[in-house]
A and B are shown apart, each in its own frame.
Chain A
Amino acid sequence: MEELIEKLKGELIAELNLEEVTPADIDAEAPLFGDGGLGLDSIDALEIILILERNYGIKIENPAQGKEIFYSVKTLAEYITANQKK
């Protein structure tokens, strides 16, 4: 899990153009969206859906479904672990 969390942090930084942010800056349990935290928005949510599809083979058709899954890096990692095709 720790390994996956670190990998995800790197992917988020690269894919969401989070320049000036290092993996150490990202608290795995802090909210990704809204004020504070990383301040991600709806376009970022769509990009995360793309990351899940491209890198983990996980499809999320309804963005509304993503709300809980995308809460933090940790919830994201948990969802991937539970749903990734072995």
Chain B
Amino acid sequence: MKIYINADSIVTPIGFGTQENLAALCSYRSGLTNHTTSDVSDTPIVMSEFHDHSIRLESKILDLESQYTKFERLVIMAITDILDQTHIDLEDKTVGIVISTTKGNSVLIDHTAESQDGRVSLWKTSDRIGRYFGAANRPIIVSNACISGLSAMIVGKRLIEAGVYESVIVAGCDVLTHFITSGFKSFKSLSAKRCVPFDARRDGLNLGEGAGAVLLSPNYDENSILLAGGAISNDANHISGPSRTGYELNLAIRGAMREAGVEPADISFVNTHGTATVYNDEMESKAVTLAELQNCPVQSLKPYFGHTLGASGIIEAIVCAHELRMGTVFGTFGYERPGTPMPLKVSAEHQRIRKMRHCVKTASGFGGCNAAIVLSLPQYAKPELETQPAQLRSIRSISVFNSQIKVGKRIVFSSKSTEYGTFIREAFKKLGDENLKFYKMDNLCKLGYVAAGYLLNNVEFKPEEMGIIVMNAVGSLDTDLDHERIISEQGDAMASPSVFVYTLPNVVVGEICIRYKIKGENTFFIREGHESEVTMKYIEKAMERQNLRYCITGWLELIGSRYRVNLNLLENTGFKGDKGDTIETAEAAEVEKPRKPRRKPTKPKAAGNEQVDGEDFLTTESTKNTEK
């Protein structure tokens, strides 16, 4: 099945709607300006930020401002633009919504509040957006650090391939706040000038805000662009520093090209993440070369938009789609001289490309994640990769709750201590693991790390054969509150990098990948509860398309003293590759076939008394939840 981008919208400080943004790019207009004072940073900062009044003027819907946060308004604007271009109706049960963001409404996080504003939870803010449109299906939220946008497009594509939806609107957005700017500042990764990706002078990135949305469907018209392939990988190296070799981003690029059926010679240009930090661009130059794309024109759009985080993958992919149509590759604004270990064909000026056919778009992020997609002009589409449906069985399941760890129904560890810190340290020591990095992790990562230790006991696999697709309701809220407390009490300058790095939920996946050398797909969903139909269909399709032999899936959540893990280790018995020995455990069982996709937004039912839903988690630490 071929999936196309059939409508798109970009909402950024340089334009409302895709055409305005493309016009800005054509005339080398950047949204990046120096703000000596600002509402989102204690110190001067170069960023691409909306003027509030411009959003107000453009949003057209007058009552939007009073009821919805800036994040919600931007997503609503981008989706409205898509709906205006098409006959798509979100009340239609066959239409899905996937939303990508790193920090959503981080402006509302408040450590002093007795109860967090409900909209801090990404599933709640997404539900509000869904309700605004009267959507038949609840949005699915992907929070995968800086690859979120590309992740969400891959999720949208696979959900259509899996038959869950007939079409999907994928929307990504992030807005800048003290929370975000102080964190990047603590990493010393911000440039005081407009960023210059791949240039020898590059000294950091600039942040930007914006939203992007695309409509994905198998329908085709003369303006469609084919989303021909997509893949995700993990460095399994470090939670914040990029790989030193670029090998894993290269794996994602090759995976996406394999799905699209294209060879390096077919690629007309590469749109990289290109943040302009020293190490990111260095890594990308190596990855592009390993993927044999070093002869293609390479661009980064960050000098125009800044790094728009969870929106960047979508915004930049939309620009790529139009570049394919226009026969133009936009220049990497400001680029002067090469500064990467492997030479790349970067140009400051826009270039006409005569043989425009396919392009590769990449992204990399905290937690060691990488993503790549291939976009194609439909007339040059190659035969799609043929794969066999995954045959799943559960090799082992693990639950962690109430100072107790169970493998299947067997208790493998329990602690007398009801205090989380003591329990998790004891459980870690019982594993015989002497990794001192454990003590540096935040509580969510410690939980995931220990659970994975028990789950993967005696399991052997190749790095690319194992994936991790997990979810929870509150993301990384436990550590978000720590970071917010530090900056509100001591100022932005005292933000701690070792706290900030854990304010992304997918970093727990990164920690597990590093410890167990896992390099396959890694995706973090935010869901209200442990509902299984849609995510199971996704997991099944991801394992099939990425040729995963194993996948760690399930629920992983912690807030304050409350925690819950329910993870499964799945095996694809239809895996194609060197199978070696199969793993036999006492707990192995066939996986129940995912049921039909849920057609109505209903409250997920609790599956037995072990079920904990997100609402419960968010409110138990305090007394009530204020949905505004």
Contact = CB atoms under 8 A, between A and B. Distances in A.
B157 interface: no
Given A41-B238, A41-B241, A42-B241, A50 B496 contact: yes
Given A42-B240, A46-B187, A63-B188, A18 B436 contact: yes
Contacts of B436: 18-21, 39
Contact of A46 (B186, B238, B239, B493): B186
Interface string B75-116: 000000000000000000000000000000000000000000
B238 to A, nearest CB: 7
A46 B440 contact: no
Interface in B238-255: 238-241
A41 B493 CA distance: 21
A64 B72 CA distance: 40
A86 B285 CA distance: 46
Contacts of B239: 43
A30 to B, nearest CB: 15
A47 interface: yes
Contacts of B238: 41-42
B497 A20 contact: no
B494 A43 contact: no
A20 B440 CA distance: 11
Given A17-B440, A20-B436, A46 B188 contact: yes
Interface string A31-52: 0000000010111101101100
B450 to A, nearest CB: 15
Q: How large is the interface on A (under 10, 10 to 19, 20 to 34, 35 or more residues)?
A: 20 to 34
B446 to A, nearest CB: 11
A67 interface: no
B498 interface: yes
B548 interface: no
B439 A43 contact: no
Contacts of B188: 46, 49, 61-63
Interface residues of B, number: 17
Given A20-B439, A39-B436, A44 B498 contact: yes
Interface in B407-438: 436-437
Most B Cβ at <10 Å: residue of A21, A47, A54: A47
A16 interface: yes
A21 to B, nearest CB: 7
Given A42-B238, A43-B240, A63-B188, A50 B494 contact: yes
A52 B515 CA distance: 31
B420 to A, nearest CB: 15
B439 A17 contact: yes
Contacts of A63: 188
A49 B495 CA distance: 12
A36 to B, nearest CB: 12
A47 B494 CA distance: 10
B447 interface: no
A64 to B, nearest CB: 9
Contact of A47 (B439, B493, B497): B497
Nearest to A21: B436
B189 to A, nearest CB: 10
Given A42-B238, A47-B497, A19 B439 contact: yes
Nearest to B186: A46
B498 A47 contact: yes
B501 interface: yes
Given A17-B498, A46-B188, 14 more contacts: A16-B498, A17-B439, A17-B440, A18-B439, A19-B436, A41-B238, A42-B241, A43-B501, A46-B186, A46-B497, A50-B494, A50-B496, A53-B493, A54-B494
Interface of A: 16-21, 39, 41-44, 46-47, 49-50, 53-54, 61-63
13 contacts: A16-B440, A18-B436, A20-B436, A21-B436, A42-B238, A42-B240, A43-B501, A44-B498, A46-B186, A47-B496, A50-B497, A53-B493, A62-B188
Which 9 pairs show the lowest CB-CB distances between chains A and B? A19-B439, A46-B497, A17-B440, A17-B439, A43-B498, A43-B497, A42-B241, A63-B188, A47-B498
Interface of B: 186-188, 238-241, 436-437, 439-440, 493-494, 496-498, 501
